[in-house]
Amino acid sequence: MLGPALLAAARSDGIRRLVSAAPVTRSVVDRFVAGERLPEAVAVSAGLIGSGLTVTLDHLGEDVTDRAQALRTRDAYLELTEALTRAGFGAAAAGTDGAAELSVKLSAFGQALPGGHDLAHRNVRPVVEAAAAAGIGVTLDMEDHSTTDSTLAVHRALREEFPATGAVVQSCLLRTEEDCHALAAAGARVRLVKGAYREPAAVAHQERRAVDLSYVRCLRVLLAGGGYPMLGTHDPRLIAIARTVAERLGRKPDGYEFQMLYGIREHEQRRLAAEGHRVRVYVPYGTDWYAYFMRRLAERPANLAFFLRSLASR
Ligand code: FAD
């Protein structure tokens, strides 16, 4: 019951101001966010890479409301790409082997503004180009269902120039199995997640079990296909199923990867990596952490209880 309310709150400016100003919020946020500044994100990434993991960095921000803000997103990612290159985290050649990659949300590049599809494509392209030159991959995060067609179209267009550009699909959406067939046939890098947005019954499964079953169908399609599957989940059952299916299909451990969020199931991240799996940690950083943080609260009531206790103990 709380999840939908928190997801609605994630888009409320009033609640954003309240939560962001709460005196203890930062310490709770720190569990999920690597820091507010770029050097902190690079330092956290260096630690993760040093321990045998790989990373994908997200400069936090979404739903920008003007063009200048969209350009600031582009510049922040260009700066991030330079910092990662200086830190030695690029790969010799563009592809899937880099220790660091970028995750971008097209709404932060202007997708929701008038003419937003073309604007977001125009703004994100220089980032993908600079990253490719540095051997750093880029994955387009997926936002709510109203953006799916546009984001997949930008992904297709970017892949014509930069074939390693990754896409994300959400097993909660009814359309996703079909999208997986198309992306697997096209040989794309695809992150499969359950989906973090509140979606209507007309387009999405409403029961957790249905979302999980859809995840299993989709991972079978991706693992059987010609692309590079990136399985974004902390769910132990789905991870176990993915390993079994991959083995049955003859996928080697370097033919796919698991992805998890910074601060969540860290022991499992290290355990999978120690067993020879590729594990990539999604590392968000920046001052605009509110919506990301609220989605993490919505995923797990215990996180909300922890947050409320920390407020009450002041
Ligand atoms: P769940 O059933 O939610 O969780 C399984 C177990 O994981 C829980 O029992 C708990 O132990 C642990 N867990 C999960 N979430 C939390 C949490 N917040 N706090 C503490 N423990 C937790 N969604 C999108 O819509 N678009 C994206 O582009 C996107 N990118 C993602 C990238 C990565 C690398 C990952 C891992 C997730 C991404 N997501 C994205 C979020 C995803 O859609 C889910 O909301 C999120 O991963 C929770 O689902 P789950 O598969 O972990 O399963």
The domain spanning residue 284 has which CATH number? 3.20.20.220
Distance between Cα 22 and ligand 1 center (Å): 25
Interval 137-159: pLDDT, tens: 999 999 999 999 999 999 999 99
C-alpha of residue 119 to centroid of ligand 1, in Å: 29
Confidence category of residue 98, pLDDT binned at 50, 70, 90: confident
**Does any ligand 1 atom lie closer than 6 A to the CB of residue 110?**
no
Query: 276 lies in a domain?
Result: yes
Residue 237 known to be catalytic: no
257 sits in which H/E element: strand 257-261
Cβ of 181: how many Cβ atoms within 10 Å? 15
Q: Considering the domain boundaries, does residue 2 fall inside one?
A: no
The string of pLDDT tens digits covering residues 33-47 is 999 999 999 999 999
Atom number, ligand 1, closest to the C-alpha of residue 260: 36
How many Å from the N-terminal Cα to the C-terminal Cα in the chain? 27
Residue 173 is part of which domain span?
A: 33-288
Among 29, 2, 63, 10, smallest CA distance to 197 is for 10
What's the length of the chain? Answer: 314
Has residue 13 been placed in a domain?
no
Residue 302 within a domain: no
Q: Tell me which of 74, 159, 189, 191 is the catalytic residue.
A: 191
| Residue 263 is assigned to a structural domain of this protein | yes
Q: Tokens 């997708």 label which residue? A: 111
Task: Report the mean per-residue pLDDT for the chain.
Answer: 92
Q: What was the ipTM of the complex prediction?
A: 0.98
In a domain? residue 173: yes
| Residue 139 CA to its chain's centroid (Å) | 8
Q: Give yes or no for residue 296 CB within 6 A of ligand 1.
A: yes
Total-model pTM: 0.94
pLDDT band at 15 (very low <50, low <70, confident <90, very high): confident
Q: Is residue 116 domain-resident? A: yes
Q: Is the CB of 189 under 6 A from ligand 1?
A: no
Q: Is residue 11 part of a domain?
A: no
Taking the centre of ligand 1 as the mean of its atom positions, its distance from the CA of residue 233, in whole angstroms, is 5
Domain count, the chain: 1
Active site residue 141: yes
